[in-house]
Amino acid sequence: MPSLAAHINALPANQIREITEAAWARPDSLVLSIGEPGFEVPMHIRQAGIDCLLRDETNYTPNGGLPALREAFAARLLADQGVRVEPSRIFVTAGAQQGLHLALSLLLSPGDEVLIPNPGYPTFGMTSRLLGAAPVGYPLHAEHGFQPQVADVEAQITSRTKVLVLNSPSNPLGAVLSAELTEALVELARKHDLWLVSDECYEAFTFDLPHISPVRFDTDGRVLVSWTASKTYGLTGIRVGALLTPPEMAGTVASTVESTFSCVSTPAQYAALAALTGPQDYVDAAREHYRANRDAAEAALRSRGIRFLEAQGAFYLWADVSHVSGGDVRKWVHGFLASDGVALAPGTAFGSQGEGWVRIALCGDTAELLEGISRIPQP
C-alpha cells in the first residue's frame, strides 16, 4: 500500500477531543473540557433553514456565499468596529475553521513559517502543518497575564516568516487584547511585511473591555479576519462562518473556494442570515450567562486557593493545577476524570506554555460547573 503524506502522519493528537471522548464514554461525567453552547437555538433561525428546504432552494450559491449574508457580515463589522468594507471581500465558509484553512491556504507556501500563540487554539498549528508550513509559537507568559509581548513575537520572526496569527478573545485563555496592543501588533506585521490572520470566533463575548479587531488598524490590506456564527448563536453544527479578505483578492479567493468546497450549504446560509439580521436576544442572554458563570467559577477557585487567569472574554477559564499535575497535565486530567469524574482540557492541548494549566468551559450548567470545580484538589 502507498503511504500517507508525511505531513499527515506528523499531525499531533487533539488532546481536547481525547479527554472529551473519554468523558463521553462515562455517562456520569461532568464535561467541562469542550466549548459547546447549551441554549436552544431561536426558532426564527431554525425556521429560515427549514423554509429554504421547503421552497427547494437547494442549488449552488455563488462561491462567496449569498449576497445578503455577505452584506450582513459587512454590516455587523461596520456596527461593531466602525470599519466599512465591500461585501465582495467577505467569503462565507463552513465555520471559522474552514475560514482559517482558507486564509492560510491563500498565504502560505511549503516551508513558510507562521507565528501562532502559545498557548493557542490547536488547529492553528495543525492547519499550518497540513499546508506544509511550519508553525512557530510565540510565548504567552503568566507574569504578563498571558498577553503577547511585542518583543517576544518579534524575536520569533525569521526570513521564512510569512503570517502572524492573533486570537482575541482567546481560546483557551479568555484573554482580550487591548486596542493599544492590537495596534502595536498590526504595526509589527507591517514592519516585517507579514500577513496578519485574526481569529475572532468569540467577538460577541467580552466582559471587561471591548473587542477590538486588527482590521481597524489595517491601512494597507494585510489583515484577514475569520468569523463564525457557531459560538455567537450556538450554531456549531450548522457550520457557517466568514472570512474577510484583503482588497483586490476576490478572484483568487473565489478560485480557491471553487477548488475546495464550492460553496456552503444553502439552508445553513439562510439560517445564519436570519441569525445575523434578526433579534439578538440569544446573544445577550448567552453573554450574561457566561459572565455569571465566570464570576461564580472565579469565586469558587479563589475560595479554594487555586490560581487562575481572570477571564475578560470568550467562555473559558484558565486555571493553574501545577500543584497536583506533577509536570504532566495531560496525564493528570485523565487520572482526574477516572478518579473524580470531571473532564478538563489539559493546557498542553494548546501548546507547551500550557503545562500545569487547564481550560475550564464556562458555557454549560452553573451547578455542574461549580461541582466540577469543587472536586479540583486544593493546593
CATH number at residue 290: 3.90.1150.10
pLDDT digits over 171-188, tens only? Answer: 999 999 999 999 999 999
Whether residue 10 has pLDDT greater than 90: no
Same domain, yes or no, for 194 and 285? no
Whether residue 196 has pLDDT greater than 90: yes
Instruction: Look over the chain and give the mean of its residue pLDDT values, rounded to a whole number.
Output: 96
**Residue 291: predicted pLDDT:** 97
Residue after which a domain boundary falls, among 214, 243, 277 = 277
Contact 240, 229 (CB under 8 A): yes
Say what the alpha-carbon torsion angle 9, 11, 13, 15 is, to the nearest 10 degrees: 180
Average pLDDT value for residue range 354-367: 97
pLDDT digits over 144-170, tens only? Answer: 999 999 999 999 999 999 999 999 999
Contact 262, 67 (CB under 8 A): no
Please state, in angstroms and as integers, the Cα–Cα distance from residue 223 to each residue in 162, 164, 363, following that order. 12, 10, 30
Residue after which a domain boundary falls, among 231, 254, 277 = 277
Whether residue 125 has pLDDT greater than 90: yes
Same domain, yes or no, for 66 and 208? yes
Q: Which residue has the cell 473587542?
A: 211
**Rounded Cα–Cα distance for residues 128 and 162 (Å):** 11
Whether residue 311 has pLDDT greater than 90: yes
Same domain, yes or no, for 216 and 175? yes
Contact 23, 337 (CB under 8 A): yes
Whether residue 38 has pLDDT greater than 90: no
Whether residue 96 has pLDDT greater than 90: yes
Residue after which a domain boundary falls, among 255, 277, 299 = 277
**Residue 295: predicted pLDDT:** 98
Same domain, yes or no, for 159 and 263? yes
- The total domain count for the chain is 2
Same domain, yes or no, for 107 and 255? yes
Q: Report yes or no on 241 lying in a domain.
A: yes
The backbone torsions φ and ψ at residue 353, rounded to the nearest 5 degrees and listed phi first, read: -70, -10
Pairing mode, strands 345-346 and 357-361: antiparallel
**Residue 268: predicted pLDDT:** 98
**Model's pTM, two decimal places?**
0.96
Whether residue 5 has pLDDT greater than 90: no
Name the 3-class secondary structure at 240: coil
358 pairs with which residues across the strands? 319, 346
| Least confident piece of the model among 27-41, 133-147, 283-297 | 27-41
Q: Report yes or no on 1 lying in a domain.
A: no
* Domain region containing 363: 6-41+281-374
Percent of the chain with pLDDT over 90: 94
Same domain, yes or no, for 273 and 285? no
- Identify the band that residue 3 occupies on the pLDDT scale cut at 50, 70 and 90: confident
